[in-house]
Structure 1
Amino acid sequence: MRYRYLGDTGLSVSELCYGSFNFGGSAKFLGAPDKDWAEFGTVDDDDVFTLINTALDAGINFFDTADVYKNGMGEEFLGAALKKVRDRVVIGTKGRWRITDDPNDLGASRHHLFAAVEASLRRLNTDYIDLYHIHGFDPRTSLDETLRALDDLIRAGKIRYIGVSNFAAWHLMKALSVSELRGLSRFVCYQGYYNLAARDLEREIVPLAVDQKVGITAWSPLAGGFLTGKYKRGERPEGSRLANATAAESAPLTDEEQAHDIVDVLREIAEKRDASIAQAAVNWLLAKPGVTSAVIGASKPHQLEDNLRAMEWTLSEEEVARLDEVSEVPAPYPYWHIRTVGADRKLPGDVYP
């Protein structure tokens, strides 16, 4: 296993982060009784511990969950499985979304965050959370209130580092400015949707994160399974995530035909490397600026073992460039202008949107 520092902290985390989104066979969402989240995949209860032990044996020390995952089951399973190694692992969880019908069980207010953190601590069976994310922007609560609440939770020893997920660039930059102005703890991590078939994060979030030394953890590095190569052009197998509208919307492809072209190149590279398409896709992501870790969500032992083998090799610069080319999408204004006009001042290693 390889490790990287998370943002500008001294915290070392594995390049592969194991996510618990699909842990648990079934769970009802209290605010929507007919919802069981099965379209995103499930892991039978007995298999969860086997998978986590395999990840630990391979050197993974970074685990991701959220209170909303399977209505808290993700946190409960992770807490039980990691209890004996708690001091050796980094657990990240999130709060913001509703998991009950309580009108205040929502958002990034002081009221909700204090309650959500306490509930997550109970489910995780721990007295501290290593990394706590705001799971999405809350337009109703001021960033000052959110950051003061998080800073108080850090001072109380409930959480150690804070991050965000699914924020716009201006949301994150404004939050970092508020932290600096008020002398509050700052966000050190951004978790976002990023893969070869969806490179939107590169427009603003990646340059911002690199400039401000905020680590990036990428969820759905395989685009909901599309970048494993299991789909053929024009086909959406029954029962697959691509065939399920809700699941497909959770990991959208920028352009499905282009995504198939990307898989074709991944397949050529993988065959030459005696590796899998998924391994090549994960390696591309880990080669990109600002990325700390790829959040994998393997639901079967063979999938996890394949993901782990991605740590045994890396792409060459030529292979990365080839994948960059096939996955490139036209840059909207002002990004094409920045690239063109600003090229005369660019230095090696500069990250341009």
Structure 2
Amino acid sequence: MERRKLGHTGIEVSALCLGSMTWGTQNTAEEGHAQIDRALDAGINFIDTAEMYPVNPISKATIGRTERIIGLWLERGGTRHDVVLATKHSGEGMRHVRGGAPITADSIPEAVEGSLRRLQTDYIDLYQFHWPNRGSYMFRKNWTYDPSGMDAAAERQNMEDCLGALQAEMDKGRIRTFGLSNESAWGTAQWLAAAERTGGPRVVTTQNEYSLMCRLYDTDMAELSMAEDVGLLSFSPLAAGLLTGKYQDGAVPAGSRLSLNADLGGRKTARAFAAVDAYLEVAGKHGLDPTQMALAWCMTRPFMCSVIFGATSLDQLDVALGAAHLTLDAEVLADLNAAHRDHPMPY
């Protein structure tokens, strides 16, 4: 498994990252542990989670359960130094965690403490802010996004205050690096500028949605990533399962995400299924598994640090792991680009 630097740090992570958001709802603890063991055997060393997980559905009763499942794996004998652990601080609007309160300097120590306790570890390798306090255009909000009500000065002050709190956590050895999630180019640039002003921790990664069907990152964020050495951790690289082809022709497999989330977070549209048909045609033409093709394509992107994927069965996991050994030739990449031009922003 290829290893890549986590931003400007010396931490090396696998090019594929094991996502965990189904552990505790769609998957049992034992199934989550089996996935970790299988992924580590295949060369993955990177696991991503969040204090608000699991999802499908999100509920107050299950908040923190995924972190506890990972902690139980460590408690049962998992070797901490074998894995790079990333988790996230919930924030504005995430009503099941601290009532949806924003991320502040005061909330950070409590949130870090809770994650450490559930994860059964003394330190978190990558600590991410799950959602900007000012809001975000992620999750289909780009169609109606309006930043006109933002107080830029207050945002900058909050960033400086939070960096101070993060630095205190680093000084204690409780977190190693800092990253963002669902962020914009302006927001990421402001965090970088605040770090220069204050001497606080510098952003190393941004975790945003990215796939063949969701390429908002390809312009301003791509430029920022390359210029500032802030790598992308892509989530939903399979477009919530659409790119596997399993939902085509009205199919809704039992226990699948679509069976639990009727619109796949706004991704289920007529145009989306037409786009999937185009990508399946490319896979068929070149004799490729569509899941592996979609993941391998993400790994070719110059700004990509690691591609976060999830699975609800070991069979699904094994298919995804095969992407690590797949090299897409120039003809495949050209066909994928042509499909993208024909089906831009399908949801």
Say which of 108, 115, 128 aligns to 1:113: 108
- 1:238-292 CA deviation, whole Å, 9 max, x = no partner? 75534655651165679412232122212322x2xxx421001101000011101
Say which of 261, 275, 288 aligns to 2:278: 261
- 1:120-168 CA deviation, whole Å, 9 max, x = no partner? 0000000110000000101376211122211221122110000000011
Q: Does 1:287 align with 2:300?
A: yes
| Letter of the structure 2 residue corresponding to residue 12 of structure 1 | E
| Letter of the structure 2 residue corresponding to residue 90 of structure 1 | V
Q: CA deviation at 1:313?
A: 2.0
Q: Does 1:20 align with 2:4?
A: no
| 1:173 aligned counterpart, secondary structure | helix
Say which of 35, 39, 51 aligns to 1:55: 39
- 1:14-56 CA deviation, whole Å, 9 max, x = no partner? 011001100013xxxxxxxxxxxxxxxx112321211111111
Say which of 212, 225, 236 aligns to 2:241: 225
> Separation in 1 of the partners of 2:107 and 2:218?
32
Say which of 161, 183, 195 aligns to 1:145: 161
Alignment of 1:20-39 (within 5 A): 20-25=20-25
Partner of 2:51: 67
Partner of 1:237: 252
Partner of 2:118: 123
Cα distance change on mapping 1:169 and 1:67 into 2, 3 Å: same
Partner of 1:315: 328
Task: Tell me the TM-score normalised to structure 1 length.
Answer: 0.82
Q: CA deviation at 1:317?
A: 2.4
Partner of 2:189: 173
Q: CA deviation at 1:89?
A: 1.2
| 1:206 aligned counterpart, secondary structure | helix
> Separation in 2 of the partners of 1:130 and 1:92?
6
| 2:257 aligned counterpart, secondary structure | coil
> Separation in 1 of the partners of 2:290 and 2:332?
13
Q: CA deviation at 1:203?
A: 2.1
Q: Is the 8 A contact 2:213 2:344 kept in 1?
A: no
The answer to which of 93-102 and 128-137 deviates more is: 93-102
Q: Does 1:186 align with 2:197?
A: no
Partner of 2:87: 93
> Separation in 1 of the partners of 2:270 and 2:160?
34
Partner of 1:3: 3
Q: Does 1:78 align with 2:95?
A: no
Cα distance change on mapping 1:252 and 1:95 into 2, 3 Å: farther
- 1:96-127 CA deviation, whole Å, 9 max, x = no partner? 23465745x63210111111100000000001
> Separation in 2 of the partners of 1:330 and 1:23?
33
> Separation in 2 of the partners of 1:268 and 1:111?
55
Q: CA deviation at 1:57?
A: 0.9
Q: Is the 8 A contact 2:52 2:96 kept in 1?
A: no
| Letter of the structure 2 residue corresponding to residue 16 of structure 1 | L
Percentage identity across aligned positions?
A: 34
> Separation in 2 of the partners of 1:149 and 1:254?
46
Q: Is the 8 A contact 1:94 1:135 kept in 2?
A: yes
| Alignment: residue pair count | 310
Q: Is the 8 A contact 1:3 1:14 kept in 2?
A: yes
Task: Tell me the TM-score normalised to structure 2 length.
Answer: 0.83
> Separation in 2 of the partners of 1:109 and 1:329?
43
| Letter of the structure 2 residue corresponding to residue 111 of structure 1 | D
| 2:9 aligned counterpart, secondary structure | coil
Cα distance change on mapping 1:243 and 1:49 into 2, 3 Å: closer
| Letter of the structure 2 residue corresponding to residue 176 of structure 1 | L
Q: CA deviation at 1:312?
A: 1.8
> Separation in 1 of the partners of 2:240 and 2:163?
32
Gaps of 5+ in 2: 55-62, 135-153
| 1:295 aligned counterpart, secondary structure | strand
| Letter of the structure 2 residue corresponding to residue 15 of structure 1 | A
> Separation in 2 of the partners of 1:75 and 1:117?
12
Cα distance change on mapping 1:82 and 1:296 into 2, 3 Å: farther
Say which of 174, 189, 199 aligns to 1:158: 174
Partner of 2:224: 208
| Letter of the structure 2 residue corresponding to residue 75 of structure 1 | E
- 1:191-214 CA deviation, whole Å, 9 max, x = no partner? 110000111111221221111101
| 1:69 aligned counterpart, secondary structure | coil
| 2:327 aligned counterpart, secondary structure | coil
